[in-house]
Amino acid sequence: MKIGPVDLGDKPVLLAPMEDVTDPSFRFMCKHFGADMMYTEFINADGLIRDAGSSVDKLNIYEYERPIGIQLYGHIIESMVEAARIATEANPDVIDINFGCPVKKIANRGSGSGMMRDVPKMVEMTRRIVDATHLPVTVKTRLGWDDDSKNIVEIAERLQDVGIKAITIHGRTRAQLYTGKADWTLIGEVKKNPRMYIPVIGNGDIEGPLKAKEMFDRYGVDGIMIGRATYGRPWIFAEVKHYLKTGELMKPLTTRQKVDIARMHFERSLEVKGQKTGMLEMRRHFSSYFKGLPHFKEIRLKLLTTLDPEEVTSLLNLIAERYGDYVADESINPSPWAYKED
């Protein structure tokens, strides 16, 4: 599968952009386990133009992350075009447009999936961004605004016609948010459309290697994108790729192995964000790395409250010593730190 000149190989597995999750330390972990392509957290076009620190910081990418895309969102065409020019200077491999975020404060302003209520504007914005950068432009979107407007087949054609190089489709409408099951039927219809020649990437409810293979086989997508299932489980990329290659499931990780992964992530977070921010942002990850461990409440509470890196190290050592080869049930519901995909 190619996105312009970016060759991702056969049946690539991509990391979805997720606000407050896909920062450089988490991307480091996902790349370590074989993510074929990753994206930054989404970046507000207006904030980028105003040189707002939080937006500008998200432009920071590392050579080892390649290929990587910078994702932008906004509802004003001129602002999105200017943001695309600024993002191009950061030298990513791809510029991605967020037409999929369903969060109320974003969608109701006409950004994210809100753009699906104004398809002509959506197409014109995309055309202008394609013209503003030499980089491949991609789009992440949904099936439609609601059940009465599942117009993704038409939208995909029109966005392709103005120059995008790939489209990622989340199998829900904006009205669904993250409820119910993702419907891949229309994703398959986009892929089967004889007018479509760009890669079609499917997204939604891929929680493990069996589902990943099923989506490839049933719907013929060129790639898959995994979001929420990576949370507390960045090794899912290795699991999926191993199964696609061998037809066999990887052996589940022991708690001791997960401690080693959490420690690597923790060290990278401190390196990238500094001690205070790195400590705070790791809390949501610690809660997910060790979900399913019995009699874990006391240790979890300490992990989620301490601001002392040495105490975290001691707690990780304690977890490895106490739980060792124990294999937790990864099917347990996500932690209360659950997030939403962009």
pLDDT one-digit tens code per residue, 88-140: 999 999 999 999 999 989 998 999 999 999 999 999 999 999 999 999 999 99
CATH class held by domain 255-323:
mainly alpha
Residues annotated as catalytic are 101
Question: What is the end-to-end Cα distance of the chain in Å, rounded?
Answer: 23
Average pLDDT across the chain, whole number:
93
Place of tokens 């699991």: 239
Pick from 13, 77, 76, 23: nearest CA to 54:
23
| Residue percentage of the chain with pLDDT more than 90 | 84
Task: Tell me the C-alpha distance between 42 and 22, whole Å.
Answer: 9
| The predicted structure's pLDDT at residue 338 | 44
Regarding pTM above 0.85, the answer is yes
Contact partners, residue 335, CB within 8 Å, separation at least 6: 232, 284, 287, 288, 291
Q: Domain locations in the chain?
A: 2-246, 255-323
Residue range 2-246, CATH number: 3.20.20.70
